[in-house]
A and B are shown apart, each in its own frame.
Chain A
Amino acid sequence: MNVLRAEWTKARTLQSTPWLLIGLVALTVTVGALAAASLHVRDCADPADCGEDFAKLSLAGLWLSQAVAVVIGVLAFGNEYGTRMITLTVAAVPGRLRVLAGKATVVLVLVLAAAVPGVVAAYALARTIFTRNGFPLPDAVTAASVRAAGGTVLYLALVALLALGVSALVRDTSGALSAVLALLYATPALALVVSDPTWQERLQRFSPLTAGMAIQATTNLDALPIGPWRGLGVLAAWTAAALVAGAVSFLARDA
């Protein structure tokens, strides 16, 4: 319990924490609203059956807000190594796994505290925009839309934990951040230029970003390179691997 309190105090007193949380919410909501506003019913061949994935569009802010979640995760260890605070931390709590668990819990709480209201607000705001633009909408709460919205929250939590694991391994804020952003964003960009369809599909199925973001789909699931839950499972596997590697490195090396 004391470990949790210590980690919570550290996170709470960082100047950047409130800004990151506000940024996460703001990006989720504004990008979702912009994506919704960019679509007008006159662009559809048949307004009654537009075929758009409204839930996914409403939640498009995830493209950017995940970068904020990554920063939150990376800073948990990066800041301590940057200021050498880590030596104090492990002197006070020699059980290092407990430190890691405490940090993971705090990161999880922070990200969820911003992601849940952000996702709900983005979804609600985008729906009013769609309605104003003349789209007939499916029901607000369906099994698929709950999966998309809840999955988006889970996605943000998972990438933050992934970043936490990598930062325990790399022990440097900018290095860890670059590594995680590269892992997330480089593969979909590469998939644009790679023209071989089998390679394209491989990239999309195993990249944490494209696989994980499959959870946002509510229509046309057959066209996805990977199913929603299996996709999120791929991201979870990356996160688990990063956390294990980070834990091993944290336990084995001098602080």
Chain B
Amino acid sequence: MSFRHLLRAEWTKLRSVSRWLLALAAAAVFTVAFSVLASSAGTTNFEGGVAVSPDGKPVADDFHFVHKPLAGDGSLVARVAEQDNTHADAMAGIMVKNGATRGASYASVAVTPGGDVRMMADFRDVDARTGTAPRWLRLDRSGTRVTTYDSADGSTWREIGRAELAGLPATVEVGMFVTSPGELIVQRSAGSTGVGERPTSGRATFADVRVDGAAGPAWASDDLVRPGFGKDPASVSGSTREAAGRFTVTGSGSIGLNEPPDDTVQIGLFGTLAGLLVLVPLGVVYITSEYRRGLIRTTFAAAPARAPVLAAKAVVLGGLTFAIGLAAALVAFFVTQPILRDHGFKPPMFPEQSLTEPRVLRAVIGAAVFLTLLTLLGLGAGAVMRRGAPAIAAVITLTLVPTFVGSVVPVAAARTLMLITPAGGFAMQRAKPATEWLVEPWSMIGPWAGFAVLGTYAAVALVAGGWLMRRRDA
């Protein structure tokens, strides 16, 4: 029989069992219904203290700022004489900002203990060169254009980068800033998970500070921190001490885009959990029922090569699962996003997600691929074991148990667990980058890692199943 005929035979088998068609429909309905359930039971505490960038993104904008006004064009030069190594990404540098308020438009150049001279503008990296303190830094402001330089001796300057700050008014604040991000503390012991941040306090000394242009007479000093910051007993506020033209500045926090790790796209697709509980058994019985009823002998008599039978089953069921899974994922996405917004997942912390964004589209397609690969893993496991019950039990436990075991074991163990069990496939439904901040362990690996893990499982199971089919008596 040609492969085309095999496909037709397998399609006929699938469509003539009404309970299987029912299962496919149920998988789609369950996926959507459970996604709605997961979204309706959602809540977020990420509301307070968020700063918003000029383009509406949630940002961190926490640092200590020693500044004075500058009217019109001008230039600021300072030498970072010393910087304490409190964090690899701590920053000590100079900045021009549209007022000393969080979220205001800015451009900066700073050194880090990690060895970068980094220029940022409006919460994004512009460019970076290698270099550490002691180092001269220079910032030229001309209209809305800012250019930054560094120098080892204060006379030969190397350009770091330039940026356009749209809407920068004539009068701006210029000055020195110091900040140092908190250290992430993740404690997962057997039985509990705690995620926290321990603030660090950066310290740097500036010398040879010079402002060219129509600058104000005196330096002001401000701590830009999120509201409620001081309530945390471990928090440290910044300070400025000036002596003989040298400024010793301390500051704590970070500057940059600050999206919360919670992924609304993933929450809205989590109903695939219910879908897989129907699809995995379907994949298994699609092959094991033939063994139970002896139909497999007829099948093999018609296709003596045997392995193509499994391939045909994989194509038919895999194709159908993907189509149904994609439809369910799309419906789930559009239905759950408004629900999640009603439950507090709203802009600016949680911008509206659009399918035109590649990462969102990837997650939605990822949900369909996730269901497809699990179904194929079920098919392969069924072909290997030839008995329904152990194959179903094995695939479902291997997929679900690591998720909750991974949420209570140490980080390294949880990551390993996600990289060696099909549970890692859940990562394909995330639209945000990998993070250690969430309790769900699959968020520690990226979507492509999840795809690789689950894909390997499905491929190995199918190949082993096909091989065993040829070797064993039917």
Taking Cβ atoms with an 8 Å cutoff, the residues of A that contact B are 16, 35, 38-39, 43, 51-53, 56-57, 60, 63-64, 67-68, 70-71, 74-75, 78, 82, 173-175, 177-178, 181-182, 185-186, 188-197, 199-200, 220
Cα(A193)–Cα(B270), bound, Å: 8
User: A38-B409, A52-B189, A56-B191 in contact; A189/B404 too (CB < 8 A)?
Assistant: yes
Cα(A218)–Cα(B396), bound, Å: 29
Q: Is B41 an interface residue (CB 8 A)?
A: yes
Q: Is B393 an interface residue (CB 8 A)?
A: yes
Cα(A39)–Cα(B413), bound, Å: 10
Cα(A60)–Cα(B417), bound, Å: 15
Cβ–Cβ < 8 Å partners of A51 in chain B? 189
Q: Give the distance to chain A from B394, nearest Cβ to Cβ, in Å.
A: 8
The 6 closest A-B pairs by CB, nearest first: A199-B41, A185-B400, A182-B277, A178-B281, A194-B41, A196-B43
Cβ–Cβ < 8 Å partners of B280 in chain A? 178
Partner of B397, one of A67, A82, A197: A67
Taking Cβ atoms with an 8 Å cutoff, the residues of B that contact A are 34, 37-38, 41-44, 189-191, 262, 266-267, 270, 273-274, 277-278, 280-281, 284-285, 288, 292, 343, 387-390, 392-393, 396-397, 400-401, 403-405, 407, 409-410, 413, 439-440
Q: Give the distance to chain B from A27, nearest Cβ to Cβ, in Å.
A: 9
Cα(A53)–Cα(B273), bound, Å: 30
Cα(A74)–Cα(B43), bound, Å: 38
- Is the beta-carbon distance between B281 and A175 smaller than 8 angstroms? yes
User: A38-B409, A178-B277, A192-B404 in contact; A71/B393 too (CB < 8 A)?
Assistant: yes
Q: Is the interface of B mostly helix, strand, loop or mixed?
A: helix
- Is the beta-carbon distance between A173 and B38 smaller than 8 angstroms? no
User: A71-B389, A174-B389 in contact; A64/B277 too (CB < 8 A)?
Assistant: no
Q: Give the distance to chain B from A44, nearest Cβ to Cβ, in Å.
A: 8
Cβ–Cβ < 8 Å partners of A196 in chain B? 41-43, 343
- Is the beta-carbon distance between A43 and B392 smaller than 8 angstroms? no
Cα(A174)–Cα(B382), bound, Å: 11
Q: Give the distance to chain B from A47, nearest Cβ to Cβ, in Å.
A: 13
Cα(A177)–Cα(B285), bound, Å: 12
Cα(A239)–Cα(B270), bound, Å: 28
- Is the beta-carbon distance between A78 and B273 smaller than 8 angstroms? no
